[in-house]
Amino acid sequence: MTWTIAGSLTVVPAPSRTDLLAEPVAKALAALADPDAVGVAEIDPSLADTAAFCEAYGSPLEASANCVVVAGKRAGEVRFAAALVLATTRADVNGVIKRRLDVRKASFAPMDEAVSLTGMEYGGITPVGLPAEWPILLDRRVADAPELVIGSGIRGSKLLISGAALAALPGAEVIEDLAR
């Protein structure tokens, strides 16, 4: 597959380089209808943050999507969700996400908790391979994107995937105006 957003990255089919994926990501990709339609590219882990990554590798910022883990409590129960929004936008945590989780207050999950629960590295968390009970909330603009760069579960690589493939993930929900 040819990725127009790859910049200077060397992209290979993700199943051929599971060493570049967190374990839960590799397992989830293997279960996809067409795992070879997802690419992976090795990067310098110190350049994993979106702005630094885009500048270093020439990938357009508007083709990057960020995944955040959000938590909220209701009746003593902690509820988690992952939200995926374009890097040029911000997730509406205390509006849309709070209502979707049906909690009084929603906030970003603490880093150590997000890492522990996902089995992924902070700064590389991705919606692919998250705990099955978590909803994956996708902004409509993410679902509609033909090509995106997202985390791979580790800071040393990036996944290249279509919005349609993300919208087809188990537990995925496409939400209008999830991001502002």
Residues 175, 80: Cα–Cα separation, whole Å = 16
Strands 136-139 and 172-175: parallel
Average the pLDDT over 4-9 and give the result.
Answer: 96
- The answer to whether the CB of 98 falls within 8 A of the CB of 72 is yes
Q: What pLDDT is attached to residue 1?
A: 79
pLDDT of residue 122: 94
Burial class (CB in 10 A: 0-12, 13-18, 19+), 3: middle
Ordered structural domains, the chain, with CATH: 11-169 (3.90.960.10)
Residues 16-40: tens digit of each pLDDT: 999 999 999 999 999 999 999 999 9
The answer to whether residues 161 and 129 touch, using CB atoms and an 8 Å cutoff, is: no
Q: Which two tokens stand for residue 159?
A: 């996944």
What is the tens place of the pLDDT at every residue in 59-116?
999 999 999 999 999 999 999 999 999 999 999 999 999 999 999 999 999 999 999 9
pLDDT band at 5 (very low <50, low <70, confident <90, very high): very high
For residue range 111-157, list pLDDT tens digits in order: 999 999 999 999 999 999 999 999 999 999 999 999 999 999 999 99
With CA atoms as reference, report the closest residue to 137 among 91, 173, 95, 90: 173
| Cα–Cα dist 126/115, whole Å | 11
pTM over 0.75: yes
Structure letter (DSSP) for residue 21: S
- 87 contacts: CB under 8 Å, gap ≥ 6: 50, 51, 54, 61, 62, 64, 65, 66
**Cβ pair 170, 130 in contact under 8 A:** no
C-alpha span between 20 and 152 (Å, rounded): 7
